Amino acid sequence: MPKFNIFLESSALIAGAISESGAAHVLLNLGESRDILLTVSELVILESERSMAKNAPSNLNDLRSLIKSSNLRIVDNPSREEVEANLYLINDPYDVPVLLAAMKAKVDYLATHNRKHFLDDPTVSEKSGLRMGTPGDVLAWLRENL
């Protein structure tokens, strides 16, 4: 059983599908080999596929293949009531369901490239109790903790 559970926000999942040399792709490979547990929510899958279909349709099949091969644990989205009760957690209400899913999944780290809403606002990490960083930050943390 993997020692670490990493939540991939849609920007990290998309980055892993687009770039085979980036840290997000390394995380997906570690998930595929079951060295770590990768967790996403249903909404992350939907957002990732929607964004990929719109912005990089030639990579959509790569994304779908990676979703299957990376042994992702897909967790349920929070209820509308849960989202409404937790709008204070992050400035963008559209990110609340993703943040809540990561919190409920009790992950060790949330990987994202979304600086504006997640990484550049330290109160998001404080309020949620989650470690957050880029996929590169996650890899550095994994190296320190293995």
CATH class of 5-145: alpha beta
Q: Each residue of 12-22: pLDDT tens digit? A: 999 999 998 99
pLDDT band at 1 (very low <50, low <70, confident <90, very high): low
Cα three-residue angle 22-51-120, rounded to 5 degrees: 60
Q: Each residue of 30-66: pLDDT tens digit? A: 999 999 999 999 999 999 999 999 999 999 999 999 9
Domain ranges of the chain: 5-145
Q: What DSSP string runs through 17-55?
A: HH-TTSHHHHHHHHHHTTSSEEEEEHHHHHHHHHHHHHH
Q: In this structure, what DSSP letter does residue 105 have?
A: T
